[in-house]
A and B are shown apart, each in its own frame.
Chain A
Amino acid sequence: MASTILEMRDITKTFPGVKALSNVNLSVEEGEIHAVVGENGAGKSTLMKVLSGVYASGTYDGAIVYRGEECHFKGIHDSEHKGIVIIHQELALVPMLSIAENIFLGNEHAKFGVIDWNANETRTSALLKKVGLKEDPKTLITNIGVGKQQLVEIAKALSKEVKLLILDEPTASLSEKDSQALLDLLLEFKQQGITSILISHKLNEVNRVADKVTIIRDGRTIETLAKKDISEDRIITSMVGRSLDDRYPPREPKIGETVLQVKNWSVYHPIHAERQVIKGIDIDVRKGEVVGIAGLMGAGRTEFAMSLFGKSYGRHITGEVLLKGKPIDVSSVSKAVDHGIAYVTEDRKTYGLNLIDHIKHNITLANLGGVSRHAVIDDLRELAVANDYKAKTNIRSSSVYQMTGNLSGGNQQKVVLSKWLFANPEVLILDEPTRGIDVGAKYEIYTIIARLASEGKAIIVISSEMPELLGITDRIYVMNEGRMVGEMAASDASQEKIMRAIVRGEGKAS
């Protein structure tokens, strides 16, 4: 039996008015991969912030025992000093600095403040080799993809002689392939004796690599499962406090005439003008239909959707858009909205919400005309609309006057959805609608999608999670490298078929 490297005992952390953690216990053994799962807002991130000293010792109750001694971390420096390194969900790299500069930021090999670049780069190369990243240490962070940036973060952690590595949703924005590589890396680290704590929503990943799983719900530890007891169903049951019979709501598609048709759509990269990002795409969506677009990260799905939505991405955009058979002009966002097209972004914090304003103002933003007369806003009508959508989409907040920046991911997503529902579109494009949100909220989003389809909206769902597409759509397009490489009815699609279409780049897959 291996020794216990970390024990967190009865951790209780209160914020003004809320108890974020109450008597949480977590015990991690040396050399294992320990997954911590729970819904968004369950308190996982708070727990990790307590562990890493972001919340200084004294601001919480309970004890942290690390390698046999009780620790009182005053800040992140203290915990890093002991070899505990946390990699946050949002990467903390400086985009305009090189890989080497980022890895040794604040920790440079220097004499009297003068940096020894050679030593830095040599060490960086060694670290990059360890994480399997083939890049020049001088490459700027901004020029490498998210997957590689994640590896740089891990290399940075290794540079600090990490003993306990904490990864907060490391694969949230990675493609399937990059995720696999990252998980393999974790397994490799395990061989080298590095202990990892993995926070994740993706239960299949947890299933694959974790030796133990601790489930947290509403700020409490529910249970810790050993390897032999880990199953997706068991975890889900513990996470939501009841069993989820079905992860997708049932629906009976009533599909009508074609609403939106896109013909021969081509887009070039906004900066590298010679690079064609979208290469002659044709798609169509019918009334009451949910159409999925599958593909790997970088396949061009978001770029396609955004170029369609008021030319918000790319240049030299060519092709034809028909709404109910008539060509329409979508050259600006407001024109697209006027024609009844709405696009719900994949990146709600950057492109979806005004985080420093409250729910009410966010919901009406895309359709201010709907709550005003002669450009004067009717405050009461706006309040009624906001309350209505808060109820319809089940946004959990104290009132519609809560800042959207203080909401959890799932509720933020519901606010963005509400905004576009209030704009009353005929075609709704949802880009990764459930990214980074918990199982319960996902189900609610699926329910909303199903309801909208039954109301006769045409819906396009872009998603990297294949089970999700298989579960909620009627028809799936497969996209790869700017082309549609497959189209299949959801009923006879499968993850394997989709992957095959992507890998082979073959035409109609079924």
Chain B
Amino acid sequence: MSTESAPAPKSGVAEDVQPGSRVAVSALITNLREYGLILALIAIMVFFQFTTSGTLFKPVNLSNLVQQNSFIIVMALGMLLVIVSGHIDLSVGSVAGFIGALAAMMMVIWPLGPFSNPLVVSIICLIIGGGIGAAQGYWIAYHRIPSFIVTLAGMLIFRGICQALLGGGSSVGPLPVGFKALSSGFIPDLIGPLVLIPPTVNAAGKTIVGSGLTLHMTTLVIGLIAVLAYAYFGLRARRTREQHGYEAEPFPLFVVKTLVTSALALFLVYQFASYRGLPIVLMVMGVLIALFVFVTKRMTIGRRIYAMGGNAKAAQLSGIKTERLTLMVFVNMGVLSALGGLIIAARLGQAVPAAGLGSELDVIAAVFIGGASAMGGVGQVIGAVVGGFIMGVMNNGMSIMGVNVDWQQVVKGLVLLGAVVFDVYNKNKG
């Protein structure tokens, strides 16, 4: 017996059937929302480019921008998963501060011999970060203590330990040069620089810093490879879809999207190449972003996290081990908080008691500006990243403009509120 013979009521049953054309339109609207965020970032950048009389896009400032905000973005990747799974983590700033202090103590103060090597210390710190995430996630996942409360406790606990470790108000440093490279280093120039315009030499026979134009070829090559790979994989995915008879997004839209993204990426790469090359921390961040996009979009664990955030009970009854999954989300958050802490310490060159103070709010704001839902189940990695950069560019631009820090907070608050209101309004309309 087949379903065809069932007495199916046909015709426009109100809630069920929508005209096919609406799918295309709604796809476009979703895309526009996604691009809208990127367009907003570009608009903000252009705005500050003017108000700072061209300082924002200067190669040296772009490097600063990346170095100042990378820890927010790195932690936002973890926070996205936390928020998508329906939770929140308020402890990330404190955990980052604590890990920074711990790393500094291990490298500078404690006589650990070979274990004070920056790489070894970093690995140990990441593992400890994971342990902290597990400790907090355990209460949230298996005892159903609200994450807000558990991580609020964690926020107090780890800030306290951080300060105690550093012995009150003092800072610990300087940190080894090798470690600082994590934040302030650039990728080694394997291919060698290309001198387009030789730098001006002054009377004393010294070159004037910033004069001339030397391009870092390694950076350019990496940038080109990345852009080509992006275009190639995009095209290949389209082909496979079409070969299997599924409609892909309209070709002109695809071309415009790919071209704009590539041009933007190449412009930024060129700017970096003309300064000191790609910052190491940007590479770390780029790899992590790619990884998290892949995990959330393509891997079963990512799908399960979204399902759990959307309806935990249904996910559990579909055979998903929601407790373990929640624990893993917090372990991941802990590791990334630790990485954030290492990046902060490396940038400052020392561990300070206030490292990462209040950064949990920037991280959470980045995720919400990026379109995640406070109810869980909704949110995109790229959104969180762009949200993080929007916050970062505003910080940077307003600082250059000389806007008072107090007013910077007001503006950031308004942007957060505006972004979420816009999102909710759009959803209700759509």
Q: How far is the CA of A353 from the CA of B6 in the complex (A)?
A: 25
Interface size, B (range):
35 or more
B366-413 with Cβ < 8 A to chain A: 373, 377-378
B-side contacts of A41, CB under 8 Å? 13-16
Kindly state whether residue B204 has any CB partner on chain A within 8 Å: no
Q: 8 Å CB contacts to B: which residues of A266-314?
A: 309-310, 312
A337 to B316 alpha-carbon distance, docked (Å): 12
Task: Identify B14's interface contact among A219, A333, A356, CB under 8 A.
Answer: A219
- In A331-353, the 8 Å CB interface with B consists of 332-334, 336-337, 343, 345, 350-353
**A354 and B307 contact, CB distance less than 8 A:** yes
The segment from A196-204, A448-456, A493-501 that touches chain B is: A448-456
Say yes or no: B1 contacts A408, CB within 8 Å.
no
- Chain A residues whose C-beta falls within 8 Å of the C-beta of B306 in the assembled complex: 354, 357, 361
A357 to B373, CA, bound (A): 13
Interface string of B315-331 (1 = CB under 8 A from A): 11111110000000000
Chain A positions 432 through 452: 1 when the CB is less than 8 Å from some CB of chain B, otherwise 0: 000000101001100110110
Given known A251-B1, A398-B23, contact A365–B6 (CB-CB < 8 A): no
A residues 365-394 touching B (CB-CB < 8 Å)? 365-366, 368-369, 372, 375-377, 379-380, 383-384, 392-394
Verify A444–B13 contact, CB threshold 8 A. no
A384 to B315, CA, bound (A): 22
A356 in complex: contacting residue of B8, B20, B378, CB < 8 Å = B378
**Size band of the interface chain A makes with B:** 35 or more
Q: Which residue of the partner chain, among A46, A332, A365, contacts B318 with CB atoms under 8 Å?
A: A365
Return chain A residues, CB-CB under 8 Å to B20.
398-399
B246 at the interface (CB under 8 A from A): yes
A411 sits at the interface (CB 8 A):
yes
Question: In the complex, what residues of B have CB within 8 A of residue A354's CB?
Answer: 306-307, 310-311, 314-315, 377
Q: Shortest beta-carbon distance, B319 to chain A, in Å?
A: 4
Q: Do residues B316 and A357 form an inter-chain contact, with CB atoms below 8 A?
A: no
Are B15 and A406 in touch, CB under 8 angstroms?
A: yes
Q: How far is the CA of A411 from the CA of B317 in the complex (A)?
A: 19
Question: Quick check: which of B99-107, B296-304, B348-356 contacts chain A, the rest being far away?
Answer: B296-304
- Please measure, in the bound complex, the distance between the C-alpha atom of A450 and the C-alpha atom of B14, giving whole angstroms: 29
Closest-by-CB residue of A relative to B22 is A17
Whole-angstrom CA separation of A310 from B321 in the bound complex: 11
B14 close to A345 (CB less than 8 A): no
Instruction: Report whether A18 and B14 are in contact in the complex, using a CB–CB cutoff of 8 Å.
Output: yes
- Give the residue of A43, A380, A398, A451 whose beta carbon is less than 8 angstroms from that of B1: A451
Residue of A nearest to B13 (CB): A41
- Asked if A218 contacts B13 (CB within 8 A), the reply is yes
Name the distance in Å between A21's Cβ and chain B's nearest Cβ.
8
How many angstroms from the CA of A353 to the CA of B310 in the assembled complex? 9
B11 at the interface (CB under 8 A from A): yes
Question: Which partner residue on chain B sits nearest A42 by CB separation?
Answer: B13
| Inter-chain contacts of B209 with A (CB < 8 A) | none
- Which segment, of A238-246, A317-325, A502-510, faces chain B? A238-246
Is the beta-carbon distance between A440 and B9 smaller than 8 angstroms?
yes
7 smallest A-B Cβ distances: which pairs?
A354-B310, A41-B13, A366-B318, A20-B14, A334-B319, A398-B18, A440-B9
19 A-B residue pairs with CB within 8 Å = A17-B22, A18-B14, A18-B17, A43-B14, A333-B320, A334-B319, A345-B317, A350-B314, A353-B314, A355-B311, A365-B318, A366-B319, A368-B303, A368-B304, A369-B300, A376-B298, A376-B299, A376-B300, A396-B13
